[in-house]
């Protein structure tokens, strides 16, 4: 077995026993990047020198015999919209092509303090707007299971880098499914925690009431370990919730007896569900039931309106957040301009890609005088009803399970000219962001073409432990997470 194939918890065990060093592990990951990155294109930036420096620092900590964190010396990739001091953070946008943050995001500060190794910054849809990573301003990432297919998005580079062993784990961000959907398409584990669980300080904002950072890993235990490493209150994020962080690995010790699992009847009505997806999710349901969980149908009557509400609210927030890119204080400036107003406009039109401009227009329109009540106001009311649906359901059950996406990964180029069809593929994931609840994705099967299928587990606010418990039991009873793409 090559060192790059290790999961975080396995590598940690070997590091602790001094059987391997962080330097050996990091070098192995860098060699793997040399080998497969030309086929996958998961990274925007790889910084070998810094990664090896961090690995050496970690080895010094390890040699001193200090108490180690499970991420000490572990090579990770970071989605390129999480600020890393001194390392380019582009959001996959021409607008920020040369932006070098003068500070670390809260999660990066935590990882660095724990001695983690940051290998590089992962590709994504520009400003996290997209479901395929095709909207990156720089490159298209390929799905490790089939290079003709998208890796999902927007955290497509993160998921592809984990699935192809070009890092041991990654941090992504999820505004409408951007962690869970690529995790599902790449056959890895991804979690969008409760809104407020992880500080957004240093996460470049897309839609502030929906964005959340979370881990993408090779298995459920690693997901719990990364959650332990980056969760917690931060006074620099006014929406961060002051609440103790449990040891998430403890939730892996419980079986499924007495756990109540709800299946929303409305999800059967989502159009265009691929038979491979329903088959894998149905088998997963039966398996969980066989392991002692109680499974029954529940109803989320307003869930069918989630896509419509989301594609008003998210672009509205984005249009406001992205107003800051004006070519004055940082980022791209178009030098061919006449006067200040022209500079703003030409900078923004040349700096942003089409999807970003489309969403800015949509968001500005839905907030504009005369349309605010009909669009933003209405969507915000429907959001309340979607939240109430979840509240009612979680009085009866501990978790909800569903598909993550209606289909396995689609072909590159297939949906790029049809934004609405692309948006509709987010039907299962968006509502967790609207409601602020945690959701995760883990491998539960493969299509006939060998593409991974994911299972989504959602729970009530701050009940990530229950998600991890169900996921871990499922993972222990299956071997989907052990399969690797042939590269």
Site for other proteins in 276-305 (CB under 8 A): 302, 304-305
- Give every CB contact of residue 425 below 8 A, 6+ residues apart in sequence: 131, 181, 405, 406, 407, 410, 415
CA distance 400 to 416: 31
The answer to whether 392 contacts other proteins (rule: CB under 8 A) is: no
Sign of the C-alpha dihedral computed for residues 147, 150, 152 and 156 taken in this order: positive
Give me the least distance between CB of 96 and other proteins, in Å please.
9
For the purposes of burial, counting CB atoms within 10 Å of the CB of 481, is it exposed (0-12), middle (13-18) or buried (19 or more)?
buried
Choose among 308, 301, 471: nearest CA to 393. 301
Question: Residue 94, exposed/middle/buried by CB under 10 A (0-12, 13-18, 19+)?
Answer: middle
225 versus 307: smaller Cβ distance to other proteins: 307
Q: Half-sphere exposure of 455 toward its Cβ, with a 13 Å CA cutoff? A: 30
> Hey, which residues between 247 and 266 contact other proteins (CB under 8 A)?
none
Interacting stretch for other proteins, rule CB under 8 A, among 136-144, 150-158, 264-272, 335-343?
335-343
Contacts of 368 (CB under 8 A, 6+ apart): none
> Does residue 270 bind other proteins (CB under 8 A)?
no
Least gap, CB of 15 to other proteins (angstroms): 33
372 counts as binding other proteins under rule CB under 8 A: no
**Binders in 7-26 for other proteins, by CB under 8 A:** none
Kindly name the residue from 178, 184, 431, 447 that is annotated as catalytic: 178
Q: What is the closest distance, in whole angstroms, from the C-beta atom of residue 339 to other proteins in the complex? A: 5
Residue-wise over 228-251: b if at least 16 C-beta within 10 A, else e? bbbbbbbeebeebbeeeeeebbeb
d(CA 72, CA 273): 41
Out of 179, 223, 362, 393, the only residue in the binding site for other proteins (CB under 8 A) is 362
Smallest distance, Å, CB 346 to other proteins? 6
Q: Which is nearer to other proteins, 291 or 387 (CB)?
A: 387
Residues 6+ apart with CB under 8 A from 357: 348, 349
Q: Does 329 bind other proteins (CB under 8 A)?
A: yes
- Site for other proteins contains 179 (CB under 8 A): no
Among 364, 407, 476, 478, binds other proteins (CB under 8 A): 364
Least distance (Å) between residue 381 CB and other proteins = 4
CA 28 to chain centre: 25
483 is catalytic: no
Could you confirm whether 79 is annotated as catalytic? Answer: yes
DSSP string, 418-466: -HHHHHHTTTTTHHHHHHT--EEEEEEEE-TTS-EEEEEEEESTT-HHH
* Site size with other proteins, rule: CB under 8 A: 72
Catalytic residue among 21, 28, 77, 79: 79
Q: 180 to 239, contacts with other proteins by CB under 8 A? A: 194-196, 209, 235, 238-239
> 427 to 456, contacts with other proteins by CB under 8 A?
434-437
Is 2 labeled as catalytic in the residue annotation?
no
DSSP state of 375: I
Interaction between residue 365 and other proteins (CB under 8 A): yes
User: Of 1, 19, 257, 339, which one interacts with other proteins (CB under 8 A)?
Assistant: 339
The one catalytic residue among 21, 22, 154, 155? 154
Report helix, strand or coil for 170: strand
Tell me how far, at minimum, the Cβ of 181 lies from other proteins, in Å: 19
Nearer to other proteins, 252 or 314 (CB): 314
The interface with other proteins within residues 101-160 (CB under 8 A) comprises 102-103
3-state secondary structure of 86: coil
CB 155 within 8 A of CB 216: yes
Q: Which residue in 487, 300, 253, 471 sits closest to 395, CA to CA? A: 300
> What is the closest distance, in whole angstroms, from the C-beta atom of residue 102 to other proteins in the complex?
4
Q: Which two tokens stand for residue 123?
A: 């590709």
- Residue 420 interacts with other proteins (CB under 8 A): yes or no: yes
Contact code string over 460-479 relative to other proteins, x by CB under 8 A: -x------------------
Give the active site residues: 79, 154, 178
């Amino acid at each position: 077995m090559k060192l790059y194939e290790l999961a975080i918890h396995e590598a940690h065990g070997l590091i602790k026993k001094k059987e391997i060093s962080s330097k050996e592990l990091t070098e192995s990951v860098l060699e793997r990047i040399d080998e497969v990155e030309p086929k996958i294109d998961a990274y925007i930036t790889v910084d070998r020198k810094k990664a090896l420096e961090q690995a050496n620092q970690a080895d010094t900590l390890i040699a001193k015999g200090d108490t180690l964190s499970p991420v000490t010396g572990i090579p990770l990739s970071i989605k390129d919209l999480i600020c890393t001091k001194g390392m380019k953070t582009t959001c996959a946008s021409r607008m920020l092509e040369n932006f070098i943050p003068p500070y670390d995001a809260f999660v990066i500060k935590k990882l660095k303090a724990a001695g983690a190794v940051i290998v590089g910054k992962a590709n994504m849809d520009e400003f996290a707007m997209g479901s395929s990573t095709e909207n990156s301003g720089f490159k298209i990432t390929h799905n490790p299971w089939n290079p003709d297919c998208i890796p999902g998005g927007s955290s497509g580079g993160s998921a592809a880098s984990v699935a192809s062993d070009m890092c041991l784990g990654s941090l992504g961000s999820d505004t409408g499914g951007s962690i869970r959907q690529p995790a599902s398409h790449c056959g890895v584990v991804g979690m969008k925690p409760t809104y407020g669980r992880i500080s957004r300080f240093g996460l470049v904002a897309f839609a502030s009431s929906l964005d959340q950072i979370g881990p993408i890993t090779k298995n459920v235990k690693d997901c719990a370990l990364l959650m332990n490493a980056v969760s917690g209150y931060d006074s620099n994020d006014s929406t961060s919730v002051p609440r103790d962080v449990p040891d998430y690995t403890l939730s892996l010790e419980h079986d499924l007896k007495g756990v109540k699992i709800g299946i929303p009847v409305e999800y059967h009505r989502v159009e265009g569900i691929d038979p491979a997806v329903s088959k894998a999710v149905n088998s997963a349901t039966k398996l969980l039931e066989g392991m002692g969980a109680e499974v029954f149908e529940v109803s989320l009557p307003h869930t069918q309106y989630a896509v419509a509400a989301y594609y008003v609210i998210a672009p509205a927030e984005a249009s406001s957040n992205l107003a800051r890119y004006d070519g004055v204080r940082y980022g791209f400036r178009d030098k061919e301009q006449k006067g200040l107003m022209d500079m703003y406009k030409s900078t923004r039109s040349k700096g942003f890609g089409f999807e970003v401009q489309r969403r800015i227009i949509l968001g500005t329109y839905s907030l504009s005088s005369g349309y605010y009540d009909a669009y933003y106001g209405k969507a915000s009311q429907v959001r309340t009803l979607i939240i109430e649906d979840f509240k009612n359901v979680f009085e009866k059950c501990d978790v909800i399970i569903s598909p993550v996406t209606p289909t396995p990964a689609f072909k590159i180029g297939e949906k790029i000219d049809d934004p609405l069809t692309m948006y509709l593929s987010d039907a299962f994931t968006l509502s967790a962001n609207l409601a602020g609840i945690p959701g995760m994705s883990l491998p539960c099967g493969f299509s006939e073409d060998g593409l991974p299928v994911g299972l989504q587990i959602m729970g009530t606010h701050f009940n990530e432990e229950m998600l991890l418990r169900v996921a871990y039991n499922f993972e222990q009873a299956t071997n989907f997470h052990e399969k690797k793409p042939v590269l």
